[in-house]
Structure 1
C-alpha cells in the first residue's frame, strides 16, 4: 500500500537559511507588539521585539572576529558543534536562532542525562563548545574532561559563573562595542542545522541530523495545515497563550516553542521543566488557551486528585504527541476540557524532523476531514507512506505492517552511524519501526512498535492491544499500564505477555488481589487465549518513561528477569 498526502503540496525546499523564514517575513511587519515569553518562576516578560533584538546581537557576537570583541564561531574551514545543555528558557530560543542564522550546527543535550548518557552524547556529537546552565555546570565539566573539551569553550546560559563567558555577557559586549549586525549566512538545503538524540528506549540514543532544508519544509507543512484549518474554524483575534513545559532539547518542544511559535503571534508561559502542581496553578492564572502534551503528562493530569477543582475554562486546544495516547485517556481529557476545545493528537519522530501524521478537523480537505476515534490522523502535506509486511510485500487496507515514510522533511540520517543508516534509511524511505494500519479513507491507526511485538505460539501479539483492553475495564481500576514480553514461554526464546499496572483510587479501594483477579477475568473475556498475560499482572507505583513520554518497557523487563534469575538460584 502506497499513499500520498491529501493536502496540497507545500512549496519545495530551497537553498535558503531557514532563519529568513522565521524572521523578517512580510506578514510579521503587520503583527501587533506582543509578549512572546513569560517566565513562570519569575513572571518576567519578554516581547517579540526584544527577543528579535537579542537574537540579532547574539548573531553579531558569534559572527564577529575575536579582535573586535566577538566570538568568531563557525569561521570558514572550522568544524564546530555547539552543545546546548539547559532547561527551558527564553534565551534557549535566542541561542538556537542565532546559531541557525550563523550556520553553526548544534547538538541538543538533555540536562536530565546521567553521567553515562552525557559522556555518550558528548563523544558522539564531537562537541567543540558547550552552553550550559549554572546548575548543570559541575556535571558538564566532569564529563568534558574525558573528551578533551577545554573549560574555556564552556559557556553559561541563564546566568553567570566566574571564569566562564556567558550568553548574556556576549550580548552586552556586542552592544557596548557596537559590533555591526549581520544578515544570516547563506545555507543550502543540505546544510546541517542541529543534532537531536533519539529516545534510546532500546540501546544508546542515536544523533539524528536535521538540515536547514528539513526545517524549512516542516515549516511549510505547518503553514499548509494551518491554512486548511482556518477554512473550517474561526480563531479569536486575541493572542493565544500556551503553557510551555516540553523540553526544548527534544524535537516536540523545540518545534512547538522555538519554531512554530513564529508562524503567528502567541504567548508562551515557560516552565523550566514539568511540575504538575505548578501547571495546575498556571492554567487559570495565565488563562492558558493551548497546551501541547505527551501521553504520560495527560495521564497525570486526568488522574490528579485536584483536577476537578481546577478552572480549565480558558482551554481551546489540547494536543498530544511524541508517543501513543490510549483512546480511554484521550476521552478523559475531552471530558475535562470545555465542550468546544479541540483535543487532538499526531504522530511523528525526530527522524522526520517533527511530525508525519496529524488529525484533521471535520470539513477540512474539501469535506474529507473528520476526527476518527483511535486514529492518529492523515499524512502531513507533501508526505508519502507505505505500510510494509514482514515479507516485504505491501499491506492491504486495515492490515498491520511497518510504516515507511518519504518526504523532504525526512532526516538525511544519523550522525556518525552508517550501520543504523543502512537499516533505517532505505532507497529514500524512512523505516519508522512503528506498526500501523490504514483504512480505506486514508486514516492511520497505531498498532505498536515493531520491536515490542511478541510472537506467542507463532502468532503476533500487540502489547498495545492488551493495554487498551485492561484500561477499558468498566470499573476503571487502573490509571496506567504497560505490557511487555518476559520469560515463561514454551521455548527458551519465546516471551509471554506481562502487565505492570498503576491502581486508580477505585483500584486501591478494591485492593491489589481483587484488582488482579478482576483484570484477569476481563482480559479472558475480551482477548484470545494466546494474548492473555501469562507472565502475570503486577501492581507498581510508577511506570518508567523517557522525558518524551515513551514507556521504557526494558527497565521493567530487566527488573523482572533479574528477580527470576535470583529465585532460580535459591
Structure 2
C-alpha cells in the first residue's frame, strides 16, 4: 500500500472516478467523491448537536484528518482506535483514516476500562482519538494495558493531550489517498461481546458500499431525499451502515445524536428533526411503544423503520404500526457480515418472522454435522455473501470455527416455514431442550411480551432439583403494573395458550431491567451466571 493521487479527488481537489484503471479502490474516496461528482458539495450530509455539515465540508474535514495522521506519524496499515460519540468527528476520522490507508477501529463507547484495555492491547493500535467525555475511562484503560500510543482528544479539554480541532485547523485541506485495493483491509469492528470477549473482525475496502447497494438500496430503497436517524450508534455495524454508509452512498443525510437513546430523547428527535428513516433495536421499540412520548400518526415524517440486533417480537411490531402507521422492517445481520443479510420487505412485513435472504446473500440451515435440515426443522444458519469479514484478528481458532470456506457460521438457530420465511429461534447456545424437545427462548419471550402487562422478557434454562432443565423467565413489567403471584399464573397461562405446553416458564422473576450489551442485545449468559450462583432447591410440581 502506498500514498498516491486519490482514485477520486486528486491532491488539488479535482473530481474523478471512484476506482482507478489500475484497480485501486478506496472506500472513503468512493463514498465522498461520488457525491461531489454528482454536484452535492453544498448538500447536507450530517446534522449533529453543534450544526450541519455539507458533503463538501466532510470532504475537506476528511482530507485535513489524513494530513493530521501524517503529521502524527501514523502510517498506512497501522491501527487507530476511535472512541468517539456520534458527532461529525466520527465520520471525519473514520473516513479520513480509511483514505489515508490507516485502519480505524470504532470502539463501543459504553465499554468499561478493562474492556477498552483489551481492545488497545489486542489491536496493537498506534493511536487513539477519544471524545473528551470518555477520556478518563481511556486513560485508565491505557494504564491497565500499559499502552503508550498517541492520544488525540475530540473536545475542548485534553488534560495536556493534543486536541483534534486545532490539529485539523492547522492541517492542509487537501490530501492524497492511499492506493488500496478492493480486498485490502479497510477497518475493524469488535464484536459486541454478548457471549464472551469481543473479537476484532477485519473488514475489506469493498464491503461498505456492498452493504449499501444490497440492503440500503435493494431493500430499504433509500434515496437522495431521505433523512436517516439511527438510534444504534456508529460504532455498531448496524448503526455504521444506517447512518453513514447508506445515506452517503445515495447522497442522503443523517442525524447524529451523541446521547443514549432514551424513549423521550428518541421521540423528541422524531418530532423535531423529522427523519424519514428510523433505525432501532427491539428493546428500544418496546420501550417506545410503552412510552406516552411516542409520536403518533401525523406527528412524524417517517416512511419506514428498521430493526436488528435481536428478533423483533411480533406484538411490539404490531403495536408500533398501530400507533405510528409505519412498518418496521425486521432483519438479522452480524458484525462478521457487516450488516443485514436476511430481512422482511417493505410493504410485505410479517411480524414474528425474520424474512428472506437479502438479494446477493445465500443462507442455509444445518444440523450438528452441517447437513441441511428439512423445512420446519430448527438448524443453525450459515450465510454466504460479498460482505463477509476476512477473519478475526489474532484469533485463528475462532476464525477457523466461524469462516468455513464460502460459508460463515452465524451462531443463530432458525427454522424455515412453508411460506419460505426464516424464523429466529435464538442463539445456538441459548436454545433449551425440555422433555426432549427443542424450546426457543425467543418464542417464549415473544409470547410473554404479547401479554398487556409485559414490556420485556428474557428466558433461560434452569435445572430443577431433579436436574431437569426447564424455562425460567425474567420479566420487566410496564409502568404502573403490580407484580404478584396471580400475575405469575396469568403469564404462565398466557404462554400455554399460545405455545405447546412444554414451552411455558416454570418460574417467573420480575426485574427492573435486563442485562444488555451496548447494542441492545439481551445478555442471557449473564442471567445464566447469576442463576448458577443460586441453584434452585425445588422440583417442578
Alignment TM-score, normalising by the size of structure 2: 0.89
CA distance in 2, matches of 1:500, 1:180: 54
Q: Secondary structure at the match of 1:481?
A: strand
CA contact under 8 A between 2:312 and 2:351: conserved in structure 1? no
Instruction: Provide the residue aligned with 1:8 in structure 2.
Output: none
Instruction: Provide the residue aligned with 1:503 in structure 2.
Output: 477
Q: Secondary structure at the match of 1:516?
A: helix
CA distance in 2, matches of 1:102, 1:540: 48
Instruction: Provide the residue aligned with 2:98 in structure 1.
Output: 100
Q: Secondary structure at the match of 1:156?
A: strand
Q: Secondary structure at the match of 1:25?
A: helix
Q: Secondary structure at the match of 1:263?
A: helix
Deviations 1:463-501 (A, max 9, x none): 11211222223xx1211111111221643xx43210011
User: Which of 493, 500, 503 is the aligned partner of 1:531?
Assistant: 503
Deviations 1:201-257 (A, max 9, x none): 22211111111132243233246506x948xxxx7x8x3333343221111111212
CA distance in 1, matches of 2:62, 2:296: 41
- Highest RCO, 1 vs 2 (Cα 8 Å, sep ≥ 6): 1
User: Which of 370, 375, 385 is the aligned partner of 1:397?
Assistant: 375
Give the alignment of 1:192-211 within 5 angstroms.
192-211=185-204
CA 404–15 in structure 1, closer or farther in 2 if over 3 Å, else same: farther
Instruction: Provide the residue aligned with 2:490 in structure 1.
Output: 518
CA distance in 2, matches of 1:154, 1:506: 47
CA distance in 2, matches of 1:411, 1:396: 29
Say yes or no: does 1:554 pair with 2:525: yes
Instruction: Provide the residue aligned with 1:303 in structure 2.
Output: 290
Q: Secondary structure at the match of 1:149?
A: coil
CA distance in 2, matches of 1:388, 1:336: 39
Greater Cα offset, 30-39 or 394-403: 30-39
Say yes or no: does 1:326 pair with 2:326: no
Shift of 1:332: 0.9
Q: CA RMSD in A?
A: 2.6
CA contact under 8 A between 2:211 and 2:241: conserved in structure 1? no
CA contact under 8 A between 1:221 and 1:382: conserved in structure 2? yes
CA contact under 8 A between 2:415 and 2:422: conserved in structure 1? yes
CA contact under 8 A between 2:74 and 2:127: conserved in structure 1? no
Greater Cα offset, 134-143 or 88-97: 134-143
Deviations 1:276-316 (A, max 9, x none): 32222222222232211011111111111333679633221
Give aligned pairs, total.
517
Q: Secondary structure at the match of 1:318?
A: strand
CA distance in 1, matches of 2:247, 2:286: 25
Gaps in structure 2 of 5+ consecutive residues: 1-18
User: Which of 48, 53, 57 is the aligned partner of 2:60?
Assistant: 53
Instruction: Provide the residue aligned with 2:10 in structure 1.
Output: none
CA distance in 1, matches of 2:97, 2:143: 24
Say yes or no: does 1:157 pair with 2:150: no
CA distance in 1, matches of 2:37, 2:265: 33
Moved over 4 A (4+): 308-311
Shift of 1:503: 1.6
CA contact under 8 A between 2:231 and 2:278: conserved in structure 1? no
CA contact under 8 A between 2:270 and 2:295: conserved in structure 1? no
Give the alignment of 1:433-448 within 5 angstroms.
433-440=411-418, 442-448=420-426
CA 378–412 in structure 1, closer or farther in 2 if over 3 Å, else same: same
Gaps in structure 1 of 5+ consecutive residues: 1-10, 64-69, 363-369
Shift of 1:415: 0.8
Greater Cα offset, 482-491 or 217-226: 217-226
Shift of 1:96: 0.3
CA distance in 1, matches of 2:210, 2:254: 24
Shift of 1:445: 1.9
CA distance in 1, matches of 2:338, 2:371: 27
CA distance in 2, matches of 1:121, 1:173: 30
Deviations 1:72-101 (A, max 9, x none): 3215xxx52111112111111100000111
Give the alignment of 1:378-417 within 5 angstroms.
378-417=356-395
Shift of 1:26: 6.8
Greater Cα offset, 142-151 or 543-552: 142-151
Instruction: Provide the residue aligned with 2:268 in structure 1.
Output: 281
Give the alignment of 1:359-370 within 5 angstroms.
359-362=344-347, 370=348
Instruction: Provide the residue aligned with 2:45 in structure 1.
Output: 36
CA 563–490 in structure 1, closer or farther in 2 if over 3 Å, else same: closer
CA contact under 8 A between 2:229 and 2:243: conserved in structure 1? no
Deviations 1:322-361 (A, max 9, x none): 22111110111111213xx342122100100112113223
